[in-house]
């Protein structure tokens, strides 16, 4: 199964666009397990929480894979959880880097307005910039292919659609 992962700092449109493109393109979408985890158990995360989030997300991806789907859109993956680990604790456990990787990462830039939703952490300009740099550094460290997705909402959607179409 081809995995396309929406990756990047908070409040950059990943979840909204992943779900929209999933519906419109008829592709399975694996929602952000970490958001559900935070909404259920709170946001006072420990490293154990991040490891549980990565495992829970990957279990959902494996379920989609077992369904026989040719391609799936992933709203984050353990590499994004690795970026969270770096941001929150200053370290990345090797376990977060050992999960299967997506075939393409769409790295969403922070050039759209921040929207607080009750589960977000890094809203200042400096924090968003640091998170964006950390998210990209994790992708470089993992040696995975990625494409930057920025600009207004229409440009983001157009560029994401083109990237996905290029994989089929």
Structure confidence by residue, pLDDT tens digits, 20-55 = 999 999 999 999 898 889 889 888 899 999 999 999
Q: Rounded to whole angstroms, how far apart are CA atoms 6 and 19?
A: 11
Q: Rounded to whole angstroms, how far apart are CA atoms 31 and 88?
A: 22
pLDDT tens per residue across span 4-29: 999 998 788 899 999 999 999 999 99
> Is 3.50.50.60 the CATH number for 2-165?
no
pTM exceeding the 0.85 threshold for the entire prediction = yes
Residue 29 has what DSSP assignment?
E
| 109 contacts 7 by C-beta, under 8 angstroms | no
Q: Which long-range contacts (CB under 8 A, 24 or more apart) does 34-43 make?
A: 34/76, 34/81, 34/84, 35/119, 38/119, 39/119, 43/119, 43/121
> What Cα–Cα distance (Å) separates residue 92 from each residue in 79, 89, 140, 162?
10, 8, 14, 32
Q: Rounded to whole angstroms, how far apart are CA atoms 55 and 81?
A: 10
Q: Rounded to whole angstroms, how far apart are CA atoms 1 and 71?
A: 5
Q: Rounded to whole angstroms, how far apart are CA atoms 1 and 9?
A: 25
pLDDT of residue 123: 58
The pLDDT mean for the chain works out to 92
What are the domain boundaries of the chain? 2-165
pLDDT tens per residue across span 108-138: 998 867 666 655 566 577 888 899 999 999 9
pLDDT of residue 18: 96
């Amino acid at each position: 199964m081809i995995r396309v992962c929406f990756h990047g700092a908070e409040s950059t449109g990943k979840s909204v666009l992943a779900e929209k493109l999933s519906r419109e393109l008829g592709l399975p979408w694996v929602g952000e397990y970490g958001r559900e985890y935070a909404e259920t158990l709170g946001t006072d995360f420990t490293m154990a929480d991040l490891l549980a989030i990565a495992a829970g997300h990957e279990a959902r991806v494996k379920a989609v894979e077992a369904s026989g789907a040719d391609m799936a859109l992933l709203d984050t993956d353990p590499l994004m959880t690795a970026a969270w680990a770096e941001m929150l604790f200053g370290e990345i456990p090797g376990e977060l880097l050992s999960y299967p990787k997506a075939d393409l990462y769409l790295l969403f830039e922070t050039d759209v307005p921040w929207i607080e939703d009750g589960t977000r952490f890094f809203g200042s300009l400096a924090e968003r910039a640091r998170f964006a740099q950390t998210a990209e550094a994790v992708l470089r460290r993992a040696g995975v292919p990625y494409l930057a997705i920025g600009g207004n909402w229409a440009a983001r959607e157009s560029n994401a659609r083109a990237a996905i179409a290029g994989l089929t």
